[in-house]
Amino acid sequence: MPTKKQPVSRSNRAGLAPGGGEPHKNPLNGRLNGQQSDDLRARIVELAYVLYEQRGRQDGRALDDWLEAEQQVVSNASLNSSS
């Protein structure tokens, strides 16, 4: 019997690993206000889509794209906040 896809819960959008696992360890947690957090997430979304397009829009690697984008954006944000 096919299973229905579960909608993304608010908790998953708030930093929990996809699939409901442990929260991602983000070095910027606690140092961002709500607007900065939203901006950071928007940059991750955009970069993850760019990575998806660069791979030729092959499905099945969304988590890889997200984690790579998150790593790049957080690293860049950490560098910018320390200067």
Model confidence, pTM: 0.57
Rounded-to-integer distance, Cα 26 and Cα 5, Å: 27
Please say whether the beta carbons of 57 and 71 come within 8 A: no
Give residue-wise pLDDT tens across range 5-64: 444 443 344 444 455 455 555 555 555 677 888 999 999 999 999 999 999 999 999 999
Supply φ then ψ for residue 60, to 5 degrees. 95, 5
Sign of CA dihedral 41, 15, 79, 83: positive
Rounded-to-integer distance, Cα 79 and Cα 73, Å: 10
Instruction: Count how many residues are written for the chain.
Output: 83
- pLDDT for the residue numbered 33: 73
Q: For the chain, give the percent of residues with pLDDT over 90.
A: 45
* pLDDT greater than 80 at residue 70: yes
- pLDDT for the residue numbered 31: 57
